[in-house]
Amino acid sequence: MDTPRYEPAPPSGLRLLLDCFSGVEDRRGPERVAHRLDEVLLVCVCATIAECDSFDAISDWGQAHLGFLQRFLPFDWGVPSGRWLNILMNRIDPDLFAACFMDWVRACWPEPPDAIAIDGKTVRRSHDRAKGRAALHLVSAFATGSRLVLGQEAVDSKTNETTAIPVLLEKLAAGRSLQGAVVTIDAIACNPQIAKSIRAVGADYLLAVKGNQPTLEADIEAAFEAADKNQIEVDVDLDKGHGRIETRTVSVLRQVDWLDGDRRFPGELRFADAHAIVRVEARTELTDRTRFDVRYYLTSSARSATALGRTIRSHWGIENTLHWTLDVTFQEDMARVRKGHGAQNMALVRKFAFNRLRATPYLSDPPNLPVKPCRRPTKPPRPKSLKLRRKIASWDVERLAEILIGKNG
């Protein structure tokens, strides 16, 4: 009889998190270190999960739950004050911290993403008028299928998102295969350089075309008007909910040789590997009116009209799922961290917390919870909202440990 092959159990989410924190360089001299950097990062992530949104609240939570924290790290000198937390988070190299975050995401969720949405968000109250510093603007990569943050890149105050997107793509592709993934970006990135950067990492692009590219938008519109109906692949989707009925018609035209042809006039945009143009016509029936909308896209993907329609719609998950949650649930726009690298590092701490909370939709009931007899068949548990998960983690450290450890624990 063959002996079954031994396969070690995968490390828990908490072990991977602690390994990630240990990789962040601490530039302080050993003789000056009372609070280790991995201890600082752990208490920040734990308290952020447990509904603490300021350094003072994080410090108070850590001091009240020191015994829980000492399960994982020594904390020989306890938890630093809110002021020291602020100082230490300001000093961490944000590029190194972001690289550690990406390594952690790859270790926890190694499956290659099918669709990646990239979009920017401004941390509104991170500006410093006294020093003439604008608010921090971050570009994030979001896996729309698993609804997890893959990475972030800060935008220099003297540039815009188009300079940060290629850098973020290179970092994402450094340790993760993007072959076959579709990268969706709003109209600001509809230019040949961004398309080339996406193709260089092995992914396909799906770029929105709007009024900022009026000539290209007019050419795409004219191409659909002139095309034979037999050349256009069409998919119709009907959606009901939230007091409206929406009909979306996705049309795909694959005769796009003119997009990569010889230059016809100065400044013409030429997109290498362009495979199709897409038109999405949306008809939304509301209670008191009917709204019509037409949007155009350019893609290098050979996916069907149905698949492209789903990918286009999933792009807005980065707004509705990530950015909205950071603003409303984590109160990111209210954060007044503005010195050093604090705003950028704390934005990443919130993404650590977001990913761990998103990966734990179901939490076990407390062990002493009384069970009422019921003759009706029990319904399957429903996933709790992120806001409720944060509250539960603040009430019960065992549920917080469950969120940290994850399903592999």
| 242 and 289 fall within a common domain | yes
Q: What is the pLDDT of residue 382?
A: 73
User: How many domains would you assign to the chain?
Assistant: 2
β pairing state of 276-285 and 290-299: antiparallel
**pLDDT at residue 127 in the model:** 87
Under a CB-based contact definition with an 8 Å cutoff, are residues 265 and 192 in contact? Answer: no
Q: How confident is the model at residue 11 (pLDDT cuts 50, 70, 90)?
A: low
Same domain, 275 and 352: no
The model's pTM is: 0.91
Residue among 43, 45, 41 nearest 25 (CA): 41
pLDDT on residue 42: 96
In a domain, 38, yes or no: yes
**133 within domain boundaries:** no
CB 92 within 8 A of CB 123: no
Q: Which of 44-48, 75-79, 335-339, 350-354 has the lowest mean pLDDT?
A: 335-339
Q: Are 21 and 41 in contact (CB under 8 A)?
A: yes
47-51, 338-342, 362-366: least confident range: 362-366
Cα 395 to Cα 273: distance, rounded to the nearest angstrom: 53
Which residue in 212, 187, 193, 201 sits closest to 298, CA to CA?
Answer: 187
* 214 and 300 fall within a common domain: yes
Q: Is residue 158 part of a domain?
A: no
Looking at the predicted structure, is the pLDDT value of residue 301 above 50? yes
Domain range for 56: 13-95+338-361+380-405
C-alpha distances in Å from residue 98, one per residue of 38, 56, 95, 111: 15, 24, 5, 20
For 228-247, what is each residue's pLDDT tens digit? Answer: 999 999 999 998 877 889 99
In a domain, 255, yes or no: yes
**pLDDT at position 171, please?**
94
pLDDT per position as a tens digit, 104-137: 999 999 999 999 999 999 999 898 888 888 899 9
Enumerate residues 6+ apart whose C-beta is below 8 A from 59: 43, 79, 80, 81, 82, 85
Average pLDDT, the chain: 88
Measured between alpha carbons, how far is 63 from 207 in angstroms, rounded to an integer?
A: 48
Answer whether residue 1 shows pLDDT above 80: no
Residues 355 and 275 in one domain: no
Query: Are the CB atoms for 223 and 215 separated by under 8 Å?
Result: no
Q: What is the DSSP letter of 125?
A: G
Q: Do residue 228 and residue 279 come from a single domain?
A: yes
Q: Is residue 168 part of a domain?
A: no
**Are residue 289 and residue 350 in the same domain, yes or no?**
no
Same domain, 280 and 345: no
pLDDT at residue 356, as a whole number: 95
pLDDT, residue 366, reads: 66
**Quick one: pLDDT at residue 105?**
94
Residues 342 and 299 occupy one common structural domain: no
Most trustworthy range by pLDDT among 119-123, 177-181, 189-193: 119-123
Answer whether residue 10 shows pLDDT above 60.
no
Classified as helix, coil or strand, 372 is coil
- State yes or no: pLDDT of 167 exceeds 80: yes
Helical (H) or strand (E) element with 66: helix 66-69
Domain assignment present for 292 = yes
Asked if residue 318 belongs to a domain, the reply is no
pLDDT digits (tens, 9 = 90+) for 246-263: 999 999 999 988 876 555
As a whole-number percent, the residues of the chain with pLDDT over 90 amount to: 68
pLDDT band at 220 (very low <50, low <70, confident <90, very high): very high
